[in-house]
């Protein structure tokens, strides 16, 4: 990833699918939830895509994938379907 003094460093990176969502959290308590499909793709020489506007004294604290209840339920169902029957 190309970084400059203007763009700053890289906080983190996530591998996501088009159906995933990402949560951005700032030190000041601002939270932004964004669908991966809404994030513009760029070429390898680009400097990235701006996902959040920070106040002057705020900073990005973390990024995390969003796991919806529907997805958790589907994962639980598929995990139990793969499990052997109780003895």
Q: Convert the pLDDT of each residue in 39-70 to its tens digit.
A: 888 887 777 788 888 888 999 898 999 987 66
CA atoms of 66 and 84, how far apart (whole Å): 29
Question: 86 vs 70, which has greater pLDDT?
Answer: 70
Question: 45 vs 82, which has greater pLDDT?
Answer: 45
CA atoms of 38 and 23, how far apart (whole Å): 13
Q: Which residue has the tokens 């969502």?
A: 21
Paired residues of 66 in beta bridges:
21
pLDDT of residue 13: 81
pLDDT of residue 20: 92
CA-nearest of 48, 47, 16, 59 to 34 is: 16
Compute the half-sphere exposure of residue 9: CA atoms within 13 Å on the CB side of its CA: 5
- pLDDT tens for residues 21-39? 999 999 999 999 999 999 8
């Amino acid at each position: 990833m190309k970084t400059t003094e203007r763009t700053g460093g890289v906080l983190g990176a996530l591998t996501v699918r088009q159906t995933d969502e990402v949560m951005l959290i700032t030190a000041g308590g601002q939270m932004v939830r964004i669908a991966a499909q809404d994030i513009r793709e760029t070429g390898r020489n680009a400097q990235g895509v701006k996902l959040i506007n920070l106040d002057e004294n705020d900073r990005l604290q973390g990024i995390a994938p969003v796991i919806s209840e529907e997805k958790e339920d589907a994962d639980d169902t598929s995990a139990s379907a793969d499990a052997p029957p109780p003895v």
